[in-house]
Chain A
Amino acid sequence: MQDLKVQFFVSGGTVNAVDGVSFEIDRGEIVGIVGESGSGKTMTALSLLRLIPEPGRITNGRILYGEKDVAQMTDEEIREFRGNEIAMIFQDPMTSLNPVLRIGFQVEEAMIAHQRFSNKQAKERVVPMLQRVRIPAAKDRVRDYPHQFSGGMRQRAMIAMGVSNEPSLLIADEPTTALDVTVQASIIELIRDLSRELRASVILITHNMALVASLCNRVIVMYAGRIVEQGPTRAIFKNPQHPYTWSLLRSMPRVDEKEKERLISIKGLPPDLGKMPPGCKFHPRCKFRVDRCFTEEPPLDEVDPGQRARCWVLMKNIANPEAQAQT
């Protein structure tokens, strides 16, 4: 993905939901995209399938999948692409399944749509698919409707739908946010196991840093429609360079640290996408800002091999960040 820009044309002007986002994903890689609500992470993911809702539009950039540019595909090409090459699992399994169609049928039609399997094969594959996502008594439950399923089971059914065509990239948009904590772990485990079996890449969109730490190879941190930091998970967690990433990690309680250490909250709210501050978009909330941050937006520069951050200051140049952050 190169220099992606998604704009919403609303009355009173345009809003840049995603602005100049570039990243790439290798086969088999699990990448986490983190950020607060409204940081553009869901829009970035939706644009991979060209599913941006009205009045939004992709106005710039290329989304290359192999040789093909998703942004340039014809309607029929993009239809054939969705669910076949890239599949998506949505946030709320309660509302993401059609309430009037049987679970089994909803899985089946996903397969029939791409003719990778004959209608008969598709029908036969439904029960094994449901078993594969560990739905108990799958044989009896294919004829159930979504309202007869629990939240966790519905998310499993969503996953079954997603992987039924063996896509090479699976986008999971906050797949566990709407679920019980006990169910969350098993869903995440399922996504990880399936991606291994299918040798598929995964984009995990979340604001749960713990989830990222346990699952992802690489992390992309987004803020106000931009990537502010990206790099290998280990590096980001150990040496976050952008103050936003650093604050996100310090706002998370940790078991292994001394109890005395206080959690740090990020004061204020993310900026209104319609009224973006000049300079670095994070400076109004940043504890470490310098004069330059008010006027000039920093580039996304390499700070360590494989790790990039969009900051003039960088955390490694700050002597005692904890003390400064508490003030």
Chain B
Amino acid sequence: MSHDWPLYEVFVRGKRGLNHVHVGSLHAADDQMALHHARDLYTRRNEGVSIWVVKATDITASSPDEKDPFFAPSGDKVYRHPTFYDIPDDVPHM
């Protein structure tokens, strides 16, 4: 059989209080096997307390080609940042 097992992307929560972070990928025949392989491959030294696996084909990603237009809507909205506003230095706790 020429089929490769499908590709899964792996996300690990390093410890409580942190987000899951993408750490890499692996091949597995199904979701459960992907989880077990992810444990063996990416958490051999207590690197995680929780793992997500998702088939790579199920991920929708923005394209780098349209990077600028895609993120343009936030580019010109400087008033979303606190530094946009002038507050006198002697106003406390602001």
**A, B co-complexed:** no
Q: Which residues of B contact A (CB under 8 A)?
A: none
Q: Which residues of A contact B (CB under 8 A)?
A: none
